[in-house]
Amino acid sequence: MNKRDLKNLKTVVSSVIKPLSERNRDIIARRFGLQNGKRETLESIGQSYGITRERVRQIEESTLAQLSKTTSENREVARYATNVKEILNKEGGIMREKDLFTTFSGTEKYDTTNASLSFLLTLNRELMKVDENDHFYAYWASDQKKADMLHSVVATLTTALEKHADVISEEELRSFAVRNGIFNGSDFSDRHVTTLLAVSKDISKNIFGEVGLVSWPEVKPKGVRDKAYLIMKKEGKPKHFGDIARLINAASFNDRKGVNTQTVHNELIKDSRFVLVGRGMYALAEWGYKSGTVKEVLVDILRNASKPLPKADLVARVMNARMVKENTILLNLQDSSHFVRNEDGTYTLRKA
């Protein structure tokens, strides 16, 4: 939209609301923020007129219905609605409001220009706005069918992700949905996948482009521990707490202050998701690593073994559970108060 059209937009809005009574015109202007880009609540407007918020809502609703009829053949109003329809259709019929504003006016900010656009679009009987709620950011749809389709896909995809219980790459999202029968019989495109991630509050992607539920720490980490968990899952191997701190600070978490190295160590040692497997080395418990001293790990392995274990097997199992040198394991096995070396070279626990 060129500068001339953007400037003309406010003139069109002024001509549309001019025939209204002074009170109704003021209520509409304040509800949409037409004068200053700041939308006012029903309650605040009601207080200024000494009427209830419900009465303000009724006035707003009836006034918009009236204006919708009187502007149905207004060419200027129709021109802006047509322009937005074209923008929406290029994006698959659905667009987050702030993204629509950016495309239309060059800024996502709710200023007087975007307020004027929002007002005119509200008068259109085809376009549909979904206000921000617990599950969606505010968005516009080319029609009710597109909005219903989006809500259905998000609901079923959320359930599928809950069952999957792990993040997937954004590139795999569509194939994942197809495998789970989510897109069957719909015209949901790859463009809609991007839109879904933009408007949904329940499904999002992390800094590595992996998609999952917002409630998962792998998607929306809330503190040092969650950020470390996400970093560790991405790395896939044990890391020193100093390296973990460095990786957290290098990642795009949008933190104003970097995380302190010692803070990482202090936080991870208190979290059961992490296991200290060597000097300053942490692993994820879900990888099979065990906490405790080498001797404690040996005792645990032998206690759960169905038969005596040879030295090589014990060494391999301990090294899978802890990051230690082989000699350290062999030295611990020499503790005759805990371990018995059998004639065939296997080891068992000494009975109490």
Give DSSP secondary structure letters for 252-313.
----SSPPPHHHHHHHHTT-TTEEEEETTEEEEGGGT---S-HHHHHHHHHHH-SS-EEHHH
Domain containing 300: what range? 294-349
pLDDT tens column, 37-89: 999 999 999 999 999 999 999 999 999 999 999 998 899 999 999 999 999 99
Q: At what angle do helices 144-164 and 170-179 cross, to 10 degrees?
A: 90
- Average pLDDT over the chain, rounded to whole? 91
Please indicate, yes or no, whether residues 257 and 323 belong to a single structural domain of this protein: no
Q: Which two tokens stand for residue 244?
A: 């973990």
Q: Where are the beta strands (DSSP E) in 150-291?
A: 168-169, 203-205, 210-213, 239-240, 274-278, 281-284
| Mean pLDDT of all residues in 257-266 | 91
| Mean pLDDT of all residues in 203-209 | 92
Please indicate, yes or no, whether residues 87 and 65 belong to a single structural domain of this protein: yes
Please indicate, yes or no, whether residues 161 and 200 belong to a single structural domain of this protein: yes
The residue ranking higher by pLDDT, 290 or 150, is 150
Please indicate, yes or no, whether residues 31 and 76 belong to a single structural domain of this protein: yes
pLDDT at 94: 93
- Which domain-ending residue is among 126, 160, 193? 126
Number of structural domains, the chain? 4
Please indicate, yes or no, whether residues 17 and 100 belong to a single structural domain of this protein: yes
Asked if residue 338 has pLDDT above 70, the reply is yes
Please indicate, yes or no, whether residues 202 and 104 belong to a single structural domain of this protein: no
pLDDT at 65: 96
- Which domain-ending residue is among 187, 213, 239? 213
pLDDT at 184: 62
In a domain, 85, yes or no: yes
Collapsing DSSP states into helix, strand and coil, what is residue 195?
Answer: helix
In a domain, 55, yes or no: yes
Please indicate, yes or no, whether residues 45 and 99 belong to a single structural domain of this protein: yes
Please indicate, yes or no, whether residues 63 and 90 belong to a single structural domain of this protein: yes
Asked if residue 168 has pLDDT above 90, the reply is yes
Q: CATH number, domain at 46?
A: 1.10.10.10
In a domain, 138, yes or no: no
In a domain, 131, yes or no: no
Please indicate, yes or no, whether residues 268 and 329 belong to a single structural domain of this protein: no
Please indicate, yes or no, whether residues 108 and 13 belong to a single structural domain of this protein: yes
In a domain, 288, yes or no: no
Please indicate, yes or no, whether residues 303 and 230 belong to a single structural domain of this protein: no
Asked if residue 170 has pLDDT above 90, the reply is no
Are the C-beta atoms of 177 and 135 separated by less than 8 Å?
no
Positive or negative torsion for Cα 125, 130, 131, 137: negative
In a domain, 331, yes or no: yes
Please indicate, yes or no, whether residues 21 and 100 belong to a single structural domain of this protein: yes
pLDDT at 257: 77
In a domain, 105, yes or no: yes
In a domain, 136, yes or no: no
Collapsing DSSP states into helix, strand and coil, what is residue 20?
Answer: coil
Q: What pTM did the predictor assign?
A: 0.77
Collapsing DSSP states into helix, strand and coil, what is residue 332?
Answer: helix
- Nearest CA to 142 out of 88, 188, 206 is that of 88
pLDDT at 188: 64
Q: Give the other-Cβ count within 10 Å of 311's Cβ.
A: 15
